[in-house]
Amino acid sequence: MTKIIGLTGGIGSGKTTIANLFAARGIPVYIADDEARKITDLPEIQEAIKNIFGNEVFENNTLIREKLAQIVFNDPLKLEQLNSIIHPAVKTHFEDWLEQHSNFPYVIKEAAILFESGSYKDCDIVITVLAPLELRIERVMKRDKLSREQVLNRINNQWSDLERIEKSKYLIENTNIQKSEEKIEEILKKLTIS
């Protein structure tokens, strides 16, 4: 049976970079955030979002993700409501994807909120990607064109590194690509043995 390796880490830790390094080694990788974005374009999901957040997060029937993000990252209840729409749909999508990749010994499920969503319970092991806070802030400000305050707000809406570390089997310190690659090789060797 295919093993599910959860890959997570705080915003800006470089999860996608690490996921791509696994993918380059021929391991199927499921990027939950990318799939969640696609799922929010489905008519039934948009209808559910409208029911909770109203039409102000839409423009010409297009979801304005920035407006929605502004609301949910400033209101934990609204974030919970959005997650209650998105998470079940992503879970179903992942189950279908997993079935299509059942001939692989293991797959990677990369998710920013693997622990917060509870989906870590479906993983055989979890790898957490770590990076120093200032580097994370810098990466996200540059990538998403957000203010320092906005980035910190998002960081504060996620589990802390300490909480993630407690529930993870492996850690990858993602500050140097060569060292990250070496750590991935080390983890893959251990997975092959187990």
Could you tell me the pLDDT band of residue 151, with boundaries at 50, 70 and 90? very high
Averaged pLDDT, 115-142: 95
Identify the pLDDT of residue 93: 95
- Predicted pLDDT of residue 192: 81
Q: What is the mean pLDDT of residues 132-153?
A: 95
Global model pTM greater than 0.85: yes
Specify the CATH superfamily of domain 3-189. P-loop containing nucleotide triphosphate hydrolases (3.40.50.300)
Query: Does pLDDT of 193 surpass 80?
Result: no
Average of per-residue pLDDT values in the chain:
94
In this prediction, residue 194 carries a pLDDT of 59
Residue 11 pLDDT exceeds 90: yes
pLDDT at 186 over 90: yes
The answer to whether 21 and 184 are in contact (CB under 8 A) is: yes
Q: With the C-alpha atoms ordered 37, 38, 41, 42, is the resulting torsion angle positive or negative?
A: negative
DSSP summary character for residue 62: E
Q: What is the pLDDT of residue 76?
A: 87
Q: What is the dihedral of CA 119, 134, 18, 177, to 10 degrees?
A: -160
The predicted-structure confidence for 81-116, as pLDDT tens digits, reads as follows 999 999 999 999 999 999 999 999 999 999 999 998
Distance CA 122, CA 38 (A): 22
Mean pLDDT, residues 55-69 taken together: 92
Spell out the domain ranges in the chain. Answer: 3-189
In three-state secondary structure terms, 171 is: strand
Please check whether residue 128 is in contact with residue 8, taking contact to mean a CB–CB distance below 8 angstroms. yes
Which has more pLDDT, 22 or 194? 22
